[in-house]
Structure 1
Amino acid sequence: MIDNKITIKGDLVADIQRGAIGHRATWTGLTYTKAREAGKAEEVEKFIREAISETGLVQGTEIKSNCQNPESVKCFAETFLTSNVAKTFELEFKTKTEDRVDIEFHHCPLLKAWQDLGFDDATCEKLCDMAMDGDRGIAKAMGFEFHLGDTIAKGCKTCQVSFFKAGK
Protein backbone atom coordinates (compact mmCIF):
# COMPACT_ATOMS: atom_id res chain seq x y z
CA MET A 1 0.00 0.00 0.00
CA ILE A 2 1.38 3.36 -1.03
CA ASP A 3 1.68 5.98 1.73
CA ASN A 4 2.62 9.32 0.17
CA LYS A 5 1.98 11.73 3.01
CA ILE A 6 2.65 15.46 3.13
CA THR A 7 4.06 16.95 6.31
CA ILE A 8 5.16 20.36 4.99
CA LYS A 9 1.86 22.17 4.49
CA GLY A 10 1.00 25.80 3.79
CA ASP A 11 4.36 26.70 2.24
CA LEU A 12 3.41 28.92 -0.72
CA VAL A 13 6.36 28.04 -2.95
CA ALA A 14 6.21 24.31 -2.20
CA ASP A 15 2.45 24.31 -2.83
CA ILE A 16 2.89 26.10 -6.18
CA GLN A 17 5.68 23.73 -7.21
CA ARG A 18 3.66 20.69 -6.14
CA GLY A 19 0.76 21.93 -8.25
CA ALA A 20 2.94 22.44 -11.34
CA ILE A 21 4.68 19.09 -10.90
CA GLY A 22 1.34 17.38 -10.35
CA HIS A 23 -0.06 18.96 -13.51
CA ARG A 24 2.90 17.63 -15.50
CA ALA A 25 2.40 14.19 -13.93
CA THR A 26 -1.29 14.28 -14.86
CA TRP A 27 -0.42 14.77 -18.54
CA THR A 28 2.05 11.92 -18.51
CA GLY A 29 -0.21 9.60 -16.53
CA LEU A 30 -3.26 10.20 -18.68
CA THR A 31 -1.22 9.86 -21.88
CA TYR A 32 0.07 6.50 -20.72
CA THR A 33 -3.27 5.17 -19.43
CA LYS A 34 -5.15 6.28 -22.56
CA ALA A 35 -2.52 4.52 -24.69
CA ARG A 36 -2.83 1.42 -22.51
CA GLU A 37 -6.63 1.45 -22.98
CA ALA A 38 -6.01 1.59 -26.75
CA GLY A 39 -3.63 -1.39 -26.60
CA LYS A 40 -0.55 0.75 -27.26
CA ALA A 41 1.05 0.83 -23.79
CA GLU A 42 4.47 -0.51 -24.83
CA GLU A 43 4.76 1.79 -27.84
CA VAL A 44 3.74 4.90 -25.90
CA GLU A 45 5.88 3.97 -22.89
CA LYS A 46 8.88 3.96 -25.23
CA PHE A 47 8.04 7.48 -26.46
CA ILE A 48 7.37 8.79 -22.97
CA ARG A 49 10.66 7.37 -21.69
CA GLU A 50 12.59 8.86 -24.62
CA ALA A 51 11.00 12.28 -24.08
CA ILE A 52 11.59 12.23 -20.32
CA SER A 53 15.20 11.08 -20.81
CA GLU A 54 15.83 13.89 -23.26
CA THR A 55 14.24 16.36 -20.85
CA GLY A 56 16.68 15.12 -18.20
CA LEU A 57 19.61 15.62 -20.55
CA VAL A 58 18.47 19.19 -21.30
CA GLN A 59 17.96 19.93 -17.60
CA GLY A 60 21.26 18.27 -16.65
CA THR A 61 23.15 20.34 -19.23
CA GLU A 62 21.62 23.50 -17.76
CA ILE A 63 22.45 22.44 -14.20
CA LYS A 64 26.02 21.63 -15.25
CA SER A 65 26.43 25.09 -16.80
CA ASN A 66 25.21 26.67 -13.54
CA CYS A 67 27.52 24.64 -11.28
CA GLN A 68 30.62 26.49 -10.14
CA ASN A 69 32.35 23.10 -9.99
CA PRO A 70 30.55 20.65 -12.31
CA GLU A 71 32.91 17.85 -11.23
CA SER A 72 31.55 18.05 -7.68
CA VAL A 73 28.47 15.98 -6.88
CA LYS A 74 27.95 18.24 -3.86
CA CYS A 75 27.91 21.36 -6.08
CA PHE A 76 25.51 19.58 -8.45
CA ALA A 77 23.16 18.74 -5.57
CA GLU A 78 23.20 22.29 -4.24
CA THR A 79 22.46 23.67 -7.72
CA PHE A 80 19.74 21.12 -8.58
CA LEU A 81 18.12 20.48 -5.21
CA THR A 82 17.47 23.96 -3.90
CA SER A 83 15.77 24.63 -0.58
CA ASN A 84 12.45 25.04 -2.42
CA VAL A 85 12.86 21.66 -4.13
CA ALA A 86 13.81 20.17 -0.76
CA LYS A 87 10.55 21.42 0.77
CA THR A 88 8.47 20.39 -2.25
CA PHE A 89 9.66 16.77 -2.10
CA GLU A 90 10.35 16.83 1.65
CA LEU A 91 13.82 15.55 0.91
CA GLU A 92 16.63 14.77 3.28
CA PHE A 93 20.31 14.50 2.40
CA LYS A 94 21.81 11.35 3.88
CA THR A 95 25.21 11.91 2.26
CA LYS A 96 26.50 15.03 0.49
CA THR A 97 30.17 14.91 -0.53
CA GLU A 98 32.24 15.88 -3.54
CA ASP A 99 31.87 12.29 -4.85
CA ARG A 100 28.37 11.23 -3.80
CA VAL A 101 24.92 12.41 -2.79
CA ASP A 102 22.35 10.08 -1.22
CA ILE A 103 18.89 11.53 -0.78
CA GLU A 104 15.63 10.33 0.73
CA PHE A 105 12.41 11.84 -0.57
CA HIS A 106 9.52 11.68 1.89
CA HIS A 107 6.85 12.98 -0.52
CA CYS A 108 6.30 12.86 -4.29
CA PRO A 109 3.96 15.34 -5.97
CA LEU A 110 3.96 13.27 -9.18
CA LEU A 111 2.77 10.22 -7.28
CA LYS A 112 0.13 12.31 -5.50
CA ALA A 113 -1.27 13.41 -8.87
CA TRP A 114 -1.45 9.80 -10.07
CA GLN A 115 -3.10 8.72 -6.83
CA ASP A 116 -5.60 11.60 -7.14
CA LEU A 117 -6.47 10.30 -10.62
CA GLY A 118 -7.30 6.94 -9.04
CA PHE A 119 -4.47 4.98 -10.69
CA ASP A 120 -3.74 1.61 -9.09
CA ASP A 121 -0.44 0.98 -7.33
CA ALA A 122 1.08 -0.94 -10.28
CA THR A 123 0.35 1.94 -12.67
CA CYS A 124 1.82 4.43 -10.19
CA GLU A 125 4.97 2.31 -9.88
CA LYS A 126 5.32 2.11 -13.70
CA LEU A 127 4.84 5.87 -14.09
CA CYS A 128 7.33 6.51 -11.28
CA ASP A 129 10.00 4.49 -13.05
CA MET A 130 9.31 6.35 -16.29
CA ALA A 131 9.60 9.69 -14.48
CA MET A 132 12.94 8.63 -13.00
CA ASP A 133 14.32 8.52 -16.56
CA GLY A 134 14.56 12.30 -16.19
CA ASP A 135 16.88 11.94 -13.20
CA ARG A 136 18.83 9.28 -15.06
CA GLY A 137 19.24 11.78 -17.92
CA ILE A 138 20.33 14.52 -15.52
CA ALA A 139 23.00 12.22 -14.06
CA LYS A 140 24.19 11.29 -17.56
CA ALA A 141 24.48 14.95 -18.59
CA MET A 142 26.48 15.65 -15.45
CA GLY A 143 28.77 12.66 -16.05
CA PHE A 144 27.59 10.96 -12.84
CA GLU A 145 26.11 7.58 -12.07
CA PHE A 146 22.56 7.25 -10.75
CA HIS A 147 20.95 4.69 -8.47
CA LEU A 148 17.29 4.39 -7.55
CA GLY A 149 16.64 2.32 -4.45
CA ASP A 150 13.34 2.12 -2.62
CA THR A 151 10.44 4.21 -3.88
CA ILE A 152 7.24 5.41 -2.28
CA ALA A 153 5.44 4.12 -5.39
CA LYS A 154 6.65 0.59 -4.50
CA GLY A 155 5.09 1.01 -1.06
CA CYS A 156 8.34 1.93 0.70
CA LYS A 157 8.58 4.69 3.30
CA THR A 158 10.81 6.93 1.12
CA CYS A 159 12.38 7.20 -2.30
CA GLN A 160 16.11 6.60 -2.11
CA VAL A 161 18.09 8.32 -4.84
CA SER A 162 21.86 8.53 -5.31
CA PHE A 163 24.05 10.51 -7.69
CA PHE A 164 27.75 9.64 -7.62
CA LYS A 165 31.01 9.52 -9.49
CA ALA A 166 31.81 6.16 -11.07
CA GLY A 167 33.33 3.82 -8.52
CA LYS A 168 32.21 5.88 -5.51
Structure 2
Amino acid sequence: MIDNKITIKDDEMVNVQRGAIGHRATWTGLTYTKAREAGMEEAAEKIIRQAITETGQIQGKEIKAKCPNPDSISSFADTFLTPTLRKTFEVEFKEQTDDRLDIEFHHCPLLKAWQDLGFDDATCAKLCDMAMDGDRNIAKAMGYGFHLGDTIAEGCPTCKITFFKEEKED
Protein backbone atom coordinates (compact mmCIF):
# COMPACT_ATOMS: atom_id res chain seq x y z
CA MET A 1 0.00 0.00 0.00
CA ILE A 2 1.45 3.33 -1.08
CA ASP A 3 1.51 6.05 1.59
CA ASN A 4 2.64 9.25 -0.13
CA LYS A 5 2.27 11.52 2.88
CA ILE A 6 2.53 15.28 2.80
CA THR A 7 3.42 17.50 5.74
CA ILE A 8 4.37 20.81 4.09
CA LYS A 9 1.03 22.20 2.92
CA ASP A 10 0.93 25.98 3.30
CA ASP A 11 3.94 27.11 1.28
CA GLU A 12 2.80 28.91 -1.90
CA MET A 13 6.03 28.31 -3.87
CA VAL A 14 6.06 24.64 -2.91
CA ASN A 15 2.42 24.27 -3.94
CA VAL A 16 3.12 25.94 -7.31
CA GLN A 17 6.12 23.69 -7.91
CA ARG A 18 4.19 20.57 -6.89
CA GLY A 19 1.43 21.57 -9.29
CA ALA A 20 3.87 21.98 -12.19
CA ILE A 21 5.59 18.68 -11.43
CA GLY A 22 2.22 16.96 -11.08
CA HIS A 23 1.10 18.36 -14.44
CA ARG A 24 4.24 16.96 -16.09
CA ALA A 25 3.61 13.60 -14.41
CA THR A 26 0.01 13.61 -15.65
CA TRP A 27 1.19 13.98 -19.26
CA THR A 28 3.73 11.20 -18.89
CA GLY A 29 1.34 8.89 -17.06
CA LEU A 30 -1.50 9.35 -19.52
CA THR A 31 0.84 8.95 -22.50
CA TYR A 32 2.07 5.66 -21.09
CA THR A 33 -1.34 4.28 -20.08
CA LYS A 34 -2.99 5.28 -23.38
CA ALA A 35 -0.17 3.57 -25.28
CA ARG A 36 -0.56 0.51 -23.07
CA GLU A 37 -4.31 0.43 -23.81
CA ALA A 38 -3.44 0.56 -27.53
CA GLY A 39 -1.07 -2.40 -27.18
CA MET A 40 2.07 -0.27 -27.49
CA GLU A 41 3.36 -0.49 -23.90
CA GLU A 42 6.94 -1.53 -24.75
CA ALA A 43 7.37 1.12 -27.44
CA ALA A 44 5.91 3.81 -25.21
CA GLU A 45 8.17 2.88 -22.30
CA LYS A 46 11.21 2.96 -24.58
CA ILE A 47 10.32 6.40 -25.98
CA ILE A 48 9.42 7.86 -22.59
CA ARG A 49 12.67 6.58 -21.09
CA GLN A 50 14.66 8.06 -23.99
CA ALA A 51 12.98 11.45 -23.51
CA ILE A 52 13.48 11.43 -19.73
CA THR A 53 17.10 10.30 -20.15
CA GLU A 54 17.80 13.20 -22.50
CA THR A 55 16.03 15.61 -20.13
CA GLY A 56 18.26 14.40 -17.28
CA GLN A 57 21.38 14.85 -19.40
CA ILE A 58 20.35 18.41 -20.30
CA GLN A 59 19.48 19.23 -16.69
CA GLY A 60 22.72 17.65 -15.45
CA LYS A 61 24.81 19.79 -17.83
CA GLU A 62 22.95 22.91 -16.65
CA ILE A 63 23.53 22.01 -12.98
CA LYS A 64 27.20 21.27 -13.66
CA ALA A 65 27.61 24.70 -15.30
CA LYS A 66 26.03 26.42 -12.26
CA CYS A 67 27.79 24.31 -9.64
CA PRO A 68 30.64 26.20 -7.92
CA ASN A 69 32.61 22.95 -7.52
CA PRO A 70 31.30 20.11 -9.74
CA ASP A 71 33.87 17.72 -8.24
CA SER A 72 32.14 18.07 -4.85
CA ILE A 73 28.89 16.18 -4.40
CA SER A 74 28.12 18.47 -1.48
CA SER A 75 28.37 21.49 -3.82
CA PHE A 76 26.19 19.64 -6.36
CA ALA A 77 23.57 18.97 -3.66
CA ASP A 78 23.39 22.64 -2.74
CA THR A 79 23.06 23.62 -6.42
CA PHE A 80 20.57 20.91 -7.48
CA LEU A 81 18.41 20.72 -4.38
CA THR A 82 17.24 24.29 -3.93
CA PRO A 83 15.37 25.16 -0.73
CA THR A 84 12.02 25.07 -2.59
CA LEU A 85 12.80 21.72 -4.21
CA ARG A 86 13.82 20.32 -0.82
CA LYS A 87 10.44 21.33 0.60
CA THR A 88 8.56 20.16 -2.52
CA PHE A 89 9.81 16.58 -2.09
CA GLU A 90 10.21 16.92 1.69
CA VAL A 91 13.87 15.93 1.41
CA GLU A 92 15.83 14.74 4.42
CA PHE A 93 19.62 14.78 4.16
CA LYS A 94 21.16 11.67 5.71
CA GLU A 95 24.75 12.27 4.57
CA GLN A 96 26.26 15.11 2.56
CA THR A 97 30.00 15.08 1.84
CA ASP A 98 32.24 15.87 -1.12
CA ASP A 99 32.11 12.17 -2.05
CA ARG A 100 28.54 11.13 -1.24
CA LEU A 101 24.98 12.31 -0.85
CA ASP A 102 22.35 10.13 0.82
CA ILE A 103 18.88 11.66 0.82
CA GLU A 104 15.35 10.51 1.52
CA PHE A 105 12.26 11.96 -0.12
CA HIS A 106 9.19 11.84 2.10
CA HIS A 107 6.75 13.01 -0.58
CA CYS A 108 6.56 12.73 -4.37
CA PRO A 109 4.36 15.09 -6.40
CA LEU A 110 4.74 12.88 -9.49
CA LEU A 111 3.39 9.90 -7.58
CA LYS A 112 0.56 12.03 -6.17
CA ALA A 113 -0.50 12.94 -9.71
CA TRP A 114 -0.50 9.27 -10.76
CA GLN A 115 -2.46 8.31 -7.66
CA ASP A 116 -4.96 11.11 -8.36
CA LEU A 117 -5.45 9.63 -11.84
CA GLY A 118 -6.37 6.34 -10.19
CA PHE A 119 -3.38 4.36 -11.46
CA ASP A 120 -2.74 1.06 -9.69
CA ASP A 121 0.38 0.58 -7.56
CA ALA A 122 2.22 -1.42 -10.27
CA THR A 123 1.69 1.34 -12.84
CA CYS A 124 2.83 3.96 -10.32
CA ALA A 125 5.99 1.93 -9.60
CA LYS A 126 6.71 1.56 -13.34
CA LEU A 127 6.23 5.29 -13.96
CA CYS A 128 8.42 6.08 -10.94
CA ASP A 129 11.26 3.98 -12.31
CA MET A 130 10.94 5.68 -15.69
CA ALA A 131 10.98 9.12 -14.03
CA MET A 132 14.13 8.19 -12.11
CA ASP A 133 15.96 7.94 -15.45
CA GLY A 134 16.12 11.73 -15.17
CA ASP A 135 18.01 11.59 -11.87
CA ARG A 136 20.18 8.72 -13.11
CA ASN A 137 21.26 10.88 -16.02
CA ILE A 138 21.75 14.02 -13.94
CA ALA A 139 24.24 11.94 -11.96
CA LYS A 140 25.85 10.66 -15.16
CA ALA A 141 26.21 14.19 -16.56
CA MET A 142 27.88 15.23 -13.31
CA GLY A 143 30.25 12.24 -13.47
CA TYR A 144 28.72 10.59 -10.40
CA GLY A 145 27.31 7.19 -9.62
CA PHE A 146 23.66 6.87 -8.63
CA HIS A 147 21.71 4.37 -6.55
CA LEU A 148 17.96 4.22 -6.10
CA GLY A 149 16.98 2.22 -3.06
CA ASP A 150 13.52 2.09 -1.54
CA THR A 151 10.73 4.08 -3.21
CA ILE A 152 7.41 5.36 -1.97
CA ALA A 153 5.87 3.97 -5.17
CA GLU A 154 6.89 0.47 -4.05
CA GLY A 155 5.16 0.99 -0.71
CA CYS A 156 8.21 2.08 1.29
CA PRO A 157 7.99 5.05 3.68
CA THR A 158 10.54 7.10 1.69
CA CYS A 159 12.54 7.19 -1.52
CA LYS A 160 16.20 6.56 -0.74
CA ILE A 161 18.59 8.09 -3.24
CA THR A 162 22.38 8.15 -3.27
CA PHE A 163 24.77 10.11 -5.47
CA PHE A 164 28.39 9.02 -5.09
CA LYS A 165 31.81 9.30 -6.61
CA GLU A 166 32.60 6.23 -8.63
CA GLU A 167 35.96 4.52 -8.37
CA LYS A 168 38.16 5.70 -11.22
CA GLU A 169 40.20 3.15 -13.10
CA ASP A 170 43.94 3.83 -13.39
Task: Provide the rounded CA distance (Å) in 1 between the counterparts of 2:128 and 2:140.
Answer: 19
Q: CA deviation at 1:120?
A: 0.1
The number of residue pairs the alignment matches comes to 168
Partner of 1:68: 68
Partner of 1:27: 27
Q: CA deviation at 1:103?
A: 0.3
Partner of 1:86: 86
**Structure 1: which 5+ residue stretches go unaligned?**
none
Partner of 1:128: 128
Q: CA deviation at 1:128?
A: 0.1
SS of aligned partner of 2:60: helix
What per-residue deviation string (whole Å, max 9, x for no partner) do you get for residues 90-149 of structure 1? 000000000000000000000000000000000000000000000001000000000000
- Structure 1 runs of 4+ aligned residues shifted over 2 Å read none
SS of aligned partner of 1:18: helix
SS of aligned partner of 1:160: strand
Task: Give the alignment's Cα RMSD to 1 decimal.
Answer: 0.9
Task: Provide the rounded CA distance (Å) in 1 between the counterparts of 2:2 and 2:14.
Answer: 22
Q: Report the AA paired with residue 156 of structure 2.
A: C
**Structure 2: which 5+ residue stretches go unaligned?**
none
Partner of 1:146: 146
Partner of 2:104: 104
Q: CA deviation at 1:167?
A: 3.7
Partner of 1:9: 9
What per-residue deviation string (whole Å, max 9, x for no partner) do you get for residues 61-97 of structure 1? 0000001100000000100001100100000000000
Task: Provide the rounded CA distance (Å) in 1 between the counterparts of 2:35 and 2:150.
Answer: 27
SS of aligned partner of 1:146: strand
SS of aligned partner of 1:95: strand
Q: Report the AA paired with residue 147 of structure 2.
A: H
Q: Percent identity between the aligned chains?
A: 74
SS of aligned partner of 2:160: strand
Task: Provide the rounded CA distance (Å) in 2 between the counterparts of 1:67 and 1:43.
Answer: 36
Q: CA deviation at 1:161?
A: 0.3
**TM, length-normalised to structure 2:** 0.98
SS of aligned partner of 2:157: coil
Q: Report the AA paired with residue 37 of structure 1.
A: E
SS of aligned partner of 1:33: helix
Partner of 2:52: 52
